[in-house]
Structure 1
Amino acid sequence: MPNRQIHPLAGQKARPEDLFTKEQITAWYINPQGELKPIKNGTSGHRGPIGQGFSEKHVAAMTQALVDLRTEHGTFGPILPENLEEKPLGPVVMGKDVRFASDLAQQTATEVFTGNGMKVLIPRGGRSTPTPVVSHAILTRVARGEKVEGVIITASHNPPEDAGYKSNGLDGGPNTNTRPIDEKGNYYLAHLEKIKQLPYQRALEKGLVKEIDLLTPYVRDLGGVVDLDLIKKERFAVTPLGGSANGYYETVNEMHGTQIEVVLPEPDPASSNRTYDWDGKLRGDPSSRYVMMAVAGMRESLRVPFIGANDNDADRFGGEDGTGILNPNHVLCVLFDYLAAHRNFPASMGVGRTIGTT
């Protein structure tokens, strides 16, 4: 970005005085101070600072809006396939990232879905779940004729004082049908008494919440789309940067015999192992050279040609090789070229790419 002022902390390790505790986050989430900001969804859902911009009230209101849309239209997403029109509503798959606020928001959202009689599928053991894994779970079930959609509690690569909530429709992708969610969500934000909610323990007792294994089916099915026999010939490294991809690369190794060295593998809800981005924020954008300073020198010490990285909900990627930090758009071009040259992917089809302006 031209002419931007680089913060003096950029690239440095997080300072303890800049980190927030679970107790602080909980207090902001449950008892936000001041006037609440409205719900405003982009294609990556609603995000905001915990408290005024993202609170228990925001999550409850947005969930009730999603419930209404599913009930009225058969989906809260943009597409209702003809073969699913007459099918009954199935459960909602719910994932979350590693943030402290995401644990709280998952419980709130579950209480509202189940308060309206909708079943919720959550990852086994309370673990975090990458956004692509929720998409995979939706598509797998939709292919079986089930009317299943999903939500993910995440603010993506935003700093830890932010939180977010997004929905994926029956096509498994980011929900572009967001205006009705905003309209209904803000109505309920002003009329909280109209939200239906069932205490979490009661929802468990009534069988409306079910824990399932999302990790194993996703990693198993990778073998059908990725040439893992080719990949496992080489050693390389990755880091989840403390995010929800923790445990996934290790499972890829176990299941497919790959040689992936995992760096900073543990969940990091406070972002204590991150380095500051260009503007002094503890942002988890793996395409930033300042964020990637968290793993500076590890590629050389591990003697691998490449180290990859994910953001908090593992739908962004970055990496470093001997030339430095890789531009993700350049990587996508190389991947497309590979598909066309080696996978019989017709080059004439082209490829779609969103363009961000933020």
Structure 2
Amino acid sequence: MEWKDNYNTWLNFDQLDNDLKSDLEQNKGNESSLEDAFYTSLEFGTAGMRGIIGAGTNRMNYYTVRQATEGLALFIESQGDKAAERGVAIAYDSRHMSKEFAIESAKTLAAHNIRAYVFEDLRPTPELSFAVRHFKAAAGIMITASHNPPEYNGYKVYGEDGGQLPPKEADDLTRYVRSVTDILSINTVSEQEAKDKGLLKIVGRDVDRVYLDYLRTVTIDQELVDRQGRNIKIVFTPLHGTGKMIGMKALEQAGFKKVSLVESQAEADPDFSTIKSPNPEDPKAFELAVEQGIKEDADVLIATDPDADRLGMAVKTAKGHYEVLTGNQIASLMVEYMFKAHTTNGTLPSNSVLIKSIVSSELPTAIADKYGVGTLNVLTGFKFIAEKIKEFEATRSHTFMFGFEESYGYLVQPFVRDKDAIQALLMVAEMTAYFKEEGFSCFDALHELYHQYGHYKEKTISITMEGMEGTEKINNLMNTLREQAPSHFGNIKVCKVEDFNEQTRKTVHGDESIDLPKANVLKYTLADGSWIAARPSGTEPKIKFYMSAQDDSGVVVVEKLEAFEADIQKIIDKG
């Protein structure tokens, strides 16, 4: 049907939710808005779905949530009765409609006699990943839009191992979701009926206690924390999200005594009223934390995003102000501290491995090499790190030590199978204590790494292209980059081209295949070791360009990045 037919079907549906009907009435006459809401179905991909809340097939609402959950129920049923009996764990964050969407998911599962374990209140994404494993559930659902603006919400699906679904399973699930075409008439049961039948179980503190017990294993050197935990001054902001309760308990449990919350950002707020964007990648998200840090002379400032799977930090410089670090810099500091601590304690296994995404910095690789730790590169998406952990457990070929993505996601211990900002919170606090005891700040320690390994500097350009035209522009841009591959960036020759969709690697020595799943990513490695990558987002109408420059000089790496960015902008302007 054309978008107008879809719109009229919804408008004339006599059982349409009242708020959604009101949304349609308010948009009468606004054809561009209505077309965007109805021209397609909200895309359900490998990372689930994410979109603006409102009426329409291309929006997050009760009906699109039911469609996704109906597809999940069919997917679980296809695996047999035992899978259905294991149930589904469901958690949600602080966004508009998050709790409602969580309950709606449970009601839809209940119509298939599939039990749902729904958290009593807000919980972080990593705790949902943990809960799937704790309950031995067949799957998990997390209602969150991560760090997107307030008008968004989203729906992420987790497999039985607590990780987001790998490609094959994600494709199977997507087919089931897309097979549900009449989304206005999906069967559900009432919330009370689901509870009466034992198909909706409210959970919370029992899972918190076990998760907190596992969090004790994140600390490497408890004696260090016992010595320094009362001295380290930490300012923590959960950015109006889910990180406060578990984060504060975890820090207290570990032994960090001087933790102060940014109170105006400590309570859940779906409008994120004190910040423009609840994204710890954005230095502006730290403005209130910086004010508080200056007053308290804090050693470190830490922020978690709304669903507490990503973490950012700001460190005090020699001049006394605070600098927000990149995800790559945070990971580099963690890797240096963790591997040094394990080496000192004699707890670093000989088959240790670091796992990172293909668009993350190579500085952690250089650090890992020094400690005799291998590095494995995987596609962007923490599910690929989780997949490798599962493989290592089965084969015992390697011991997982740390996983990260440049986009501020880290995992220390594999009792969670996704990014875990609560684990990262503990590790940042511990490494800050270590560097302070050694007479360094984290800022000093980072520059010591540059002194040892050379300067590495990364930057990501994220370009939003909304609507149908935006999708077409992104596709055209990727096609152009494939068909007319650049020979130079910043006057430095491209010596290797990797096309992860075609699974090919082209070098001056010939072509070879890439042993990774297909992904719409292009990566160009330059003669000096620097690299540039292009990747459309899987959850947002964006295309991202990742750049990494390396050199012995900190000034030169900045100049290289500026030259790379100028060349990328020329490509975008032409595209």
Which band: TM-score by shorter chain? 0.7 to 0.9
Query: For the Cα contact (< 8 Å) 1:153–1:165, is it kept in 2?
Result: yes
Q: Paired residue for 2:134?
A: 140
Q: 2: CA distance between counterparts of 1:244 and 1:307? A: 17
Give the structure with the higher percent strand.
2
Answer whether contact 1:41 1:179 (CA < 8 A) is retained: no
CA distance in 2, matches of 1:228, 1:166: 35
C-alpha deviation, 1:58, in angstroms? 0.5
- Note the 1:108-257 alignment, pairs <5 A: 108-124=104-120, 127-141=121-135, 146-176=136-166, 177-193=169-185, 195-212=186-203, 213=205, 214-227=207-220, 229=222, 230-231=224-225, 232-233=229-230, 234-257=232-255
Distance 1:48 1:88, change over 3 A: closer
- The partner residue of 1:58 within 64, 67, 75 is 64
Residue 99 of structure 2: aligned partner = 103
| Structure 1 CA distance for aligned equivalents of residues 21 and 221 of structure 2 | 42
Q: Distance in 1 between matches of 2:351 and 2:326?
A: 22
Q: Which residue of 2 aligns with 1:303?
A: 297
Kindly report which structure 2 residues correspond to 1:74-85, keeping only aligned pairs within 5 A, or say none.
Answer: none
Q: Higher helix share goes to which structure?
A: 2
Q: Which position in structure 1 is the counterpart of 2:75?
A: 69
TM-score (norm 2): 0.50
Question: Which structure's relative contact order is higher, taking Cα pairs within 8 Å and 6+ residues apart?
Answer: 1
Structure 2 CA distance for aligned equivalents of residues 255 and 130 of structure 1: 18
Corresponding letter in the other structure for 1:240: P
Cα deviation for residue 107 of structure 1 reads 1.7
Whole-angstrom distance in 2 between the partners of 1:165 and 1:30: 24
1:306 shift after superposition: 0.3
Report what 2:19 is aligned to: 27
Match in the other structure for 2:272: 271
> How many correspondences in the alignment?
310
- Which amino acid letter does the alignment assign opposite residue 67 of structure 2? A
Tell me: CA distance 1:139–1:242, structure 2 relative to 1, closer, same or farther (3 Å). same
Does 2:333 align with 1:334? yes
One-letter amino acid matched to 1:341: K
Give the direction of change, closer, same or farther, for the CA distance of 1:228–1:90 in structure 2 (3 Å limit).
farther
Q: 2:310 and 2:139 mapped to 1: Cα distance? A: 21
Distance in structure 2 (CA, Å) of the matches to 1:115 and 1:122 = 16
Aligned counterparts of 1:251 and 1:29: Cα–Cα separation in 2: 43
**Percentage of identical aligned residues:** 24
Structure 1 residues 116 and 31, CA, compared in 2 at 3 Å: closer, same or farther?
farther
Say if 1:26 and 1:104, in contact at 8 Å, map to a contact too. no
- Classify 1:271/1:221 alpha carbon distance in 2 versus 1 (closer, same or farther; 3 Å): same
Offset, 1:207: 1.9
- Does the 8 A contact of 2:236 with 2:302 survive in 1? yes
Q: Which amino acid aligns with 1:290?
A: K
For residue 351 of structure 1, what is the aligned residue in structure 2?
355
Calculate the TM-score normalised by the size of structure 1.
0.78
**Structure 1 pair 64–88 and aligned structure 2 pair: CA distance change class (3 A):** closer
Shift in Å, 1:29: 9.2
CA displacement at 1:322 relative to structure 2:
1.1
AA aligned opposite 1:220: D
Moved more, 108-117 or 41-50: 41-50
Deviation at 1:252, TM superposition (A): 2.2
Q: CA deviation at 1:316?
A: 0.8
- Give the 3 Å change call, closer, same or farther, for CA 31–72 of structure 1 in structure 2: farther
Q: How far is the alpha carbon of 1:331 from its aligned partner?
A: 1.2
* Residues 211 and 173 (structure 1), Cα distance of their counterparts in 2 relative to 1, 3 Å cut: same
Q: Per-residue deviation at 1:73?
A: 2.6
Distance 1:338 1:28, change over 3 A: farther
> Aligned pair in 2 of structure 1 residues 353, 189: CA closer, same or farther (>3 Å)?
same
Q: Distance in 1 between matches of 2:188 and 2:240?
A: 32
- Cα distance in 2 between the residues matched to 1:30 and 1:295: 39
Distance 1:107 1:73, change over 3 A: same
C-alpha distance in 1, partners of 2:149/2:309? 16
How far apart, CA to CA, are the structure 1 residues paired with 2:174 and 2:84? 25
Structure 1 stretches of 5 or more lacking a match?
Answer: 1-24, 75-84, 277-282
Q: What is the deviation of 1:175? A: 2.0
Name the stretch that deviates more: 177-186 or 45-54: 177-186
Deviation at 1:162, TM superposition (A): 0.6
Q: Name which of structure 1's ranges 308-317 and 48-57 shifts more when overlaid on structure 2.
A: 48-57
1:253 deviates by 4.5
Instruction: Indicate conservation of the 8 Å contact 2:280/2:286, yes or no.
Output: yes
Q: Is the 8 A contact 1:40 1:182 kept in 2?
A: no
* Bigger Rg, structure 1 or 2: 2
1:245 CA displacement: 1.1
